[in-house]
Chains A and B, each alone.
Chain A
Amino acid sequence: MAKVKVFVPRDSTALSLGANRTALAIQAEAEKRGIDIELIRNGSRGVFWLEPMVEVETDKGRIAYAPVKPNDVAGLFDADFLNGGEHALSLGLTEEIPYLKNQQRLTFARAGITDPVSLEDYLAHDGYKGLTNALAMTQEDIVKAVTDSGLRGRGGAAFPTGIKWNTVLGAKGEQKYIVCNADEGDSGTYSDRMVMEDDPFVLIEGMTIAGIAVGATQGYIYLRSEYPHALQILNEAIAKAVAANYLGDDVCGSGQAFHLEVRRAAGAYVCGEETSLLESLEGKRGLVRFKPPLPAIEGLFGKPTVVNNVISLATIPIILDKGAQYYADYGMGRSRGTLPIQLAGNIKQGGLVELAFGVTLRELLYDYGGGSASGRPIRAVQVGGPLGAYLPESQFDTPVDYESFAKLWAVLGHGGIVAFDDTVDMAKMARYAFEFCSIESCGKCTPCRIGATRGVEVMDKIKSGKDHAKNIQVLRDLSDTMLNGSLCALGGMTPYPVISALNHFGEDFGLNVSIDKKLNEKEGVA
């Protein structure tokens, strides 16, 4: 009889909730009962509120049990979970769990299904089909496909990926580079980490396609040091890709070279800014560079360089596999395709939700997120990391779309949504935004370096009530200077959380918010 396959995720978040102990308990219990199982450490499907989620392969499909703690294991064996038996923790077929079933998984099509470091698994689930197609195309046609897909940089800046590639393709240079920005420092985001831990080959394939498209032979993944598991998994996957000739001097016998190396970052948030990242990769302090020249013309070591976020690169394979139109058919307006949204903070059902652009915040927070974890009303959400605006409930019907957010003076950024309940002090969050900026500023430009520190001081004065009206004005003026005078987004966008908090939650700043505004907000909710 074939061994029953049992899946226990090895993703960091699953591990953070005890997945290793659960896996050990299952192995031990199987041995005790003399049952031979095949324990597979798959990636996570990103339904993090249900981790550790154990799955069993049956004739009907994979059946999920969650969350499984070590002391649940004996009971699961008693209930014959190896044959899909009924148990209090049974969730039925994994694919039918509404949280997953209603998603549109393109970039994350394989996450949680496969063993992340199994190349065979990757190939069996449509892996390397995109590269195979790309190798039969001209460089111009590959770039055109990426442009036609409408893919925009998923790191946060939303710049069209195809246009960036086209610049590098047209740039003269004997050496070109592909740099993957995996310095995912935004609070509330983890989709890059998930790609690297749960489906690393898709990133490797995406970077290889990028290299072939623009004529780059060397790639670097600049990975934040806070992700040790991602480092290990990526290196294991890269070694397997090299051994199978998917990386190296002659990729798949095409005669084209592409080499890939992971470089660890060292805990500087500003290095997520592309020019700072390049300085860091060159072995220097991560000081932001002036632009122009664009990295596409003079990037790493002065050579033409594609710098793309993990999610952008991990989305390339499906575009080359299924075609630009297939991807572009998802989405709304100028936001094409899907966005892997990450639900975080005070949320009952936190996890990864990949959907076409157009879904509203309210649907995400309540239909998927299930409301707050504390059970209290959600008062504010911060979208797009520490430099993203805070949105009040009256804006929860906004669709997830770059332009709709821009209209509200907000950003989608990297797709992280952090929920706060009604116990949050928004003035404190504004102060924190300045504090974070002061800790992480690279120091090159004055508005950011000095402005962040002054911002903390002004917030303290506002809180103490000293010269209140004057200091509120100072806060607005200072934010205006940072917004317009900073060299990069760190100083330039720190005003987003600050001013949005002030505008929407003025009462927390000691402002007398008029009754009219409150009434308007109530109507907005209804």
Chain B
Amino acid sequence: MGISLVNKLSDSDLKKIESHIFAHQGVPGALMPLLHAVQDDIGYVPEEIYPQISQALALSVAEVHGFVTFYHHFRTHPVGKHVLQVCRAESCQAMGSEKLESEIKAKLGIDYHQTTADGEVTLLPVYCLGNCACSPAVMMDDEVYGRVNAQAVADLVSEVSNG
């Protein structure tokens, strides 16, 4: 299941992006910090802005596309209001994360890289959150949660969905 969120770049988003591009001109290795600024601000990196970025940074559109698709962190489509990342790495596996993953998917009714029907939560896999002394771990937006189980994650989801 899950919904696909429509790509629609508003004028205000476009303005924000243009100001980020302007601010990053002349910065050494600008592409990475620029894309972070764009995604932090509007939630994703819209493909339709590749031409402007490539022009501003003297890169080809293919180079920008190649960069965005190389890095797991960047996405080219909008996501839900909240992003839930579930750690799949060894330390969490040693504490039963495989079972946790399937329980979370079942509870949310979505697979990885999908968004719940209400548009609240997008589920992503992650490989290590650096919380390995207290596995298994998940990250909701910018906060890590340790020693979690499926119920704790479900509570977390309702907390942010109602918040």
Contact = CB atoms under 8 A, between A and B. Distances in A.
Interface of A: 12-13, 15-17, 46, 48-49, 51, 184-190, 192-193, 225-229, 263-269, 280-286, 301, 342-347, 350-352, 373, 382, 386, 416, 418-421, 424, 429, 432, 436, 439-440, 442
Say which size band chain B's interface belongs to. Answer: 35 or more
Interface in B78-98: 85, 89-95
Contacts of A267: 71-73, 126
A184 B130 contact: yes
Which has the most chain A C-beta neighbours within 10 Å: B73, B85, B131, B137?
A: B131
Contacts of A190: 130-133
B139 interface: yes
26 contacts: A12-B131, A13-B130, A13-B131, A16-B134, A46-B133, A187-B128, A190-B130, A263-B29, A263-B33, A264-B33, A265-B71, A266-B35, A266-B73, A268-B71, A269-B127, A283-B29, A283-B30, A284-B63, A286-B71, A301-B29, A345-B90, A345-B94, A416-B91, A420-B94, A421-B94, A429-B90
Nearest to B148: A16
Contact of B130 (A227, A281, A346): A227
Nearest to A226: B129
B72 A344 contact: no
Contacts of B90: 187-188, 345, 382, 386, 418, 429, 432
Q: Majority SS of interface residues in chain A?
A: mixed
B20 interface: no
A266 B135 contact: no
B71 A266 contact: yes
B74 interface: yes
Closest 8 CB pairs of A and B: A350-B133, A187-B89, A344-B132, A266-B71, A345-B94, A16-B146, A283-B31, A48-B133
A301 B70 contact: no
A226 B89 CA distance: 13
B70 A419 contact: no
A268 B72 CA distance: 6
B22 interface: no
Nearest to A281: B29
A268 B36 CA distance: 14
Contacts of B56: none
A285 B147 CA distance: 35
Contacts of A352: 133
A189 B132 CA distance: 7
A119 B135 CA distance: 32
Contact of B94 (A15, A185, A346): A346
Given A15-B143, A16-B131, A344 B91 contact: yes
B132 A416 contact: yes
Contacts of B133: 13, 46, 48-49, 190, 342-344, 347, 350-352
Contacts of A187: 89-92, 127-128, 132
B141 to A, nearest CB: 9
A350 to B, nearest CB: 3
